[in-house]
């Protein structure tokens, strides 16, 4: 009897081992199929070319953003998605206008600087503001000066990003509060305008825009970013002539909020159609450059995920969505609206994935997941590592999908080698030519592969 039980146990273990080997072989074959389809027949690079060159930048509320929405819907329909529809979203409508000027006279020489208005800034009402400049590196330095030394002047926040942080996103996060809150903090002490050093690690002459957030009840003053080169030069000149006067003119204007839309495509699930996996990026961009890395790449990678899965004949267990979110840059209206409507309809999201770090070489995924979910994700690494996807890093996912967070969903963000991302981010240099075709396609394939694993295993609740 003991010999029979032992034999049955050995046979059972052999069967389990054989099943595991079969599953691994099937997964490996699917990975190869995905990568072969994207790398040999991918359409994301040409889609990006059209988005950048035929439509261009896509500030929420603008005519070009609406053209991008229309293009996104048509392109997803061509991808053979089972269903494509628009989700109305109310967005802001702001324009920087056609004129921006910044400059000053130093030692009898007029210097014009590379400058761009911050998103949401008020204009100078057709006039040129001329005032002395006070330079600070932090809110603490500003407050230490006090109203007496700030009133009637232009505050210049000259704080470089921390170059010792290898994670460039963390460096950017350290500078973000100055762009967001700096103009209001300066206005509280009577400043007439605010300048900031662009949030970049590059030493170039491209100014970086981005949203500023005026505090309720505080006077709104014009706000602009100087390039890294212009910031360094202004700082040097102020050390020689602390009373030099800066001239600033902006033609920004805000309008009533308007209606635009998220674009959504689905491949319906065959076993669990009421469980959703959402993949996306943001369709809007700032109104300088072409919005290539931020976030045209995430958009075309999400579209490619749908196209590739349909092209290889994959029939998912769960419903897979690609969402082209509108207005991530200027308030995250697309992400907030999507999460609210999904929750109102009782849709169950098991996972969401976002690409918004640029179209650079993928190295893995960021993840906002539980220990149990993390353990499952780690088990996929042996199949992902041959494709140079080496890790799931805890912490962070993406702005657009973050509102979906609850006690169930697993959130992921494509993690790329982003050392050059903030060279292009929010600048006139964020153009199609600065995206590498192979790196873009590797990111699209990586996203599609992760979707496959999420769909096949079904990630456990937290």
- E-state strands within 100-252: 100-106, 109-112, 115-117, 129-136, 154-157, 193-197, 223-226, 245-250
Output the six-digit token pair for 158: 């000259």
Residue 188 resides in a domain: yes
Task: Give this prediction's pTM.
Answer: 0.93
Output the six-digit token pair for 274: 């009421």
pLDDT of residue 381: 96
Spatial contact of 221 and 181, defined as CB atoms under 8 Å apart: no
Q: Where are the alpha helices (DSSP H) in 42-167?
A: 44-50, 63-78, 139-150
pLDDT of residue 16: 31
Ranges of residues in the chain with a pLDDT under 70 are 1-23
State pLDDT tens for residues 174-216.
999 999 999 999 999 999 999 999 999 999 999 999 999 999 9
Residue 6 resides in a domain: no
299/324 same-domain check: yes
Task: Domain count for the chain, please give it.
Answer: 2
What range does the domain containing 286 cover?
32-93+256-457
The rounded distance, in Å, linking the Cα atoms of 152 and 147 is 9
Which residues are annotated as catalytic?
328
217/266 same-domain check: no
The rounded distance, in Å, linking the Cα atoms of 309 and 124 is 51
Q: In whole angstroms, how large is the CA radius of gyration of the chain?
A: 25
Output the six-digit token pair for 414: 């494509």
Of 234, 251, 268, which marks where a domain is finished? 251
Spatial contact of 219 and 126, defined as CB atoms under 8 Å apart: no
166/281 same-domain check: no
Of 228, 251, 274, which marks where a domain is finished? 251
pLDDT of residue 108: 87
Pairing of strands 318-325, 253-267: antiparallel
**CA 91, 94, 95, 101 torsion-angle sign:** negative
* Residue 312's CATH number: 3.40.630.10
* Residue 216's CATH number: 3.50.30.30
84/147 same-domain check: no
Output the six-digit token pair for 188: 């509280």
State pLDDT tens for residues 376-429.
999 999 999 999 999 999 988 999 999 999 989 999 999 999 999 999 999 999
261/289 same-domain check: yes
């Amino acid at each position: 009897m003991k010999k029979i039980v032992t034999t049955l146990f050995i046979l059972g273990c052999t069967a389990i081992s054989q099943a595991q080997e079969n599953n691994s072989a099937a997964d490996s074959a699917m990975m190869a199929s995905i990568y072969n389809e994207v790398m040999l027949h991918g359409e994301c690079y040409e889609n990006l070319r059209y988005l950048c060159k035929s439509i261009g930048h896509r500030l929420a509320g603008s005519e070009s953003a609406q053209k991008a929405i229309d293009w996104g819907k048509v392109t997803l329909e061509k991808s053979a998605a089972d269903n494509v529809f628009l989700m109305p979203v109310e967005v802001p409508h702001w324009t920087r206008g056609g004129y921006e000027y910044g400059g000053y006279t130093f030692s009898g020489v007029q210097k014009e600087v590379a400058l761009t208005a911050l998103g949401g800034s008020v204009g100078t009402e057709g006039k040129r503001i001329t005032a002395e400049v006070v330079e600070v590196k932090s809110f603490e330095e500003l407050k230490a000066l006090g109203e007496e030394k700030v009133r009637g002047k232009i505050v210049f926040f000259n704080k470089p990003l921390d170059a010792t942080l290898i994670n460039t996103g963390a460096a950017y996060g350290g500078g973000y509060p100055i762009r967001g809150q700096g103009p209001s903090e300066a206005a509280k002490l009577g400043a007439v305008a605010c300048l900031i050093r662009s949030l970049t690690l590059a030493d170039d002459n491209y100014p970086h825009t981005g949203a500023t957030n005026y505090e309720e009840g505080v006077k709104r003053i014009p706000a602009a970013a100087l390039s890294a080169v212009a910031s360094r030069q202004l700082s040097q000149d102020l050390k020689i002539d602390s009373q030099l006067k800066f001239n600033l003119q902006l033609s920004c204007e805000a309008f009533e909020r308007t209606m635009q839309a998220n674009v959504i495509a689905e491949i319906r699930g065959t076993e669990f159609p009421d469980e959703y996996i959402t993949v996306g990026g943001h369709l809007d961009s700032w109104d300088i450059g072409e919005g290539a890395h931020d976030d045209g790449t995430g958009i075309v990678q999400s579209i490619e995920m749908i196209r590739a899965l349909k092209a290889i004949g994959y029939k998912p267990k769960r419903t897979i969505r690609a969402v082209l979110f509108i207005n991530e840059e200027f308030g995250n209206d697309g992400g907030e609206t999507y999460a609210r409507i999904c929750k109102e309809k009782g849709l169950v999201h098991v996972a969401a994935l976002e690409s918004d770090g640029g179209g650079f070489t993928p190295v893995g995924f960021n993840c906002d997941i539980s220990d149990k979910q993390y353990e499952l994700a780690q088990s996929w690494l042996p199949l992902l590592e041959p494709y140079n996807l080496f890790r799931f890093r805890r912490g962070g996912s993406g702005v657009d999908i973050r509102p979906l967070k609850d006690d169930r969903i697993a959130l992921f963000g494509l993690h790329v080698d982003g050392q050059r991302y903030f060279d292009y981010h929010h600048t006139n240099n964020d153009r199609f030519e600065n995206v590498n075709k192979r790196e873009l396609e590797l990111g699209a394939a990586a996203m599609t592969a992760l979707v496959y694993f999420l769909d096949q295993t079904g990630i456990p609740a937290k």
